[in-house]
Copies of this chain bind each other. A is one copy, B any other.
Amino acid sequence: MNACVNNLSELKLCYLGPQGSFTHQAALKVQQQCQLWNTLQITPTACERISDIAYEIEEHNNWGVIAWENNIEGVVIPNLDLLIGAKNMVGIARVGVNISFDAVICKSDSIDNCSTIVAHPHALAQCRKFAQAHGLKEKTSSSNAAACRDLLPGEVALGPKICADLYNRHIVSEGVEDFSGARTEFLVLAPRDEASDFVNIQRENFSSFSSIIAFIPRCTGAGVLANLLDVVRDHGLNMTSFMSRPIKGQDGLYSFIATVDSAPWDSMCKDMIQEVVEHGDWVRVLAVYPSSVRDNPVMSEWMLPNGGVCIEPSVDALRNLNVMQAERELLW
């Protein structure tokens, strides 16, 4: 290990506070993983704003962890926009956290004594059945962590798993959300200028990577996106996520963000990027992180949503298209 990597040993890992947020939980998971590799000592540190995290990364060579994508809410667009135009930040790892709420009370308290439930409005909306079952009146808090921290006797708070220990609370019930299965993926960010050392360590430890790449085509109009994706396809790259984003203050101009099952230094991906650059388009790799190899599942009919139009492909397939159904589902 070279000197530069050793210097990383006093890193802060900045997250959006207060202590006890889901992002804090993600930061603790990153800290654990880094200890496993025995290479890095990082200290999770709460920041008040995302801009404070960016400042710590870009100006003080620290690391950060930010929410990237939730399976219910989709990509966290402000964080994506931040990374596209960042001076000196790049994603180097990805961790997932299950969005699950524990109900906690003061240590000396009893649930039968409680009449109020305190949490951020989002958590209250996600745990309504628990509140109703216990006849609890809702009270909003600026964050779930603050609700757990400032809890009074007679109140139940909702918070991520780490809050009970953090604020010395008693867990009444675990996982009290109405619907389980929500999950948020977080990106670990490092200064772009310093990222190569850590990326090289990862290349020694992992064989399979994913990359998030942003493109801005030089031209606009019909077909621009299709032409771009032809290049991605022709180099055999598999995409797992794709979206367009309007460019701020520039009506009608878009960036495109793709997640591909490849590292930017793999020849397939590198050749693809070269071809796009040669075409005069703007390209930036926003993140690269270890990932597991995926199969390509086949779509069966039972997996399709309600409605819509789908027929067996054949030469005269359209004969099988029901006119009424086409009018209803396609608005022809």
Contacts and interface: CB of A to CB of B under 8 A. Distances in A.
Given A74-B74, A229-B226, A282-B304, A299 B331 contact: no
B244 A277 contact: no
A111 B281 CA distance: 53
Contact of A77 (B73, B265, B278): B73
Given A120-B121, A277-B311, A242 B239 contact: no
B252 A297 contact: yes
A318 B274 contact: yes
Contact of A238 (B222, B299, B311): B222
A225 B253 contact: no
B226 A329 contact: no
A332 interface: yes
Interface stretch (A7-15, A39-47, A136-144, A155-163): A136-144
B329 A285 contact: yes
A134 interface: no
A313 B73 contact: no
Contacts of A217: 299
Nearest to A84: B305
A226 B222 contact: no
A319 to B, nearest CB: 10
What copy number does this chain have within its complex? 2
Given A239-B225, A277-B317, A308-B282, A296 B244 contact: no
Interface string A244-287: 11110011111110000001110000100110011111111100
Contact of A284 (B120, B192, B329): B329
Interface residues of A, number: 104
B296 A220 contact: yes
A230 interface: yes
A180 to B, nearest CB: 12
Interface of A: 71-75, 77-78, 84-87, 90, 120-121, 124, 138, 140-143, 192-193, 195-196, 199, 211, 214, 216-223, 225-227, 229-230, 232-234, 236-247, 250-256, 263-265, 270, 273-274, 277-285, 288, 294-299, 303-313, 317-318, 321, 327-332
User: Which 10 A-B pairs give the minimum distances between C-beta atoms?
Assistant: A280-B313, A223-B233, A74-B77, A284-B308, A226-B233, A85-B305, A226-B229, A243-B243, A282-B310, A221-B296
23 contacts: A74-B75, A124-B142, A140-B142, A195-B331, A196-B331, A220-B299, A221-B238, A221-B296, A223-B233, A225-B242, A226-B229, A243-B244, A250-B297, A250-B303, A252-B297, A253-B297, A264-B331, A265-B331, A280-B313, A281-B310, A282-B310, A284-B330, A285-B329
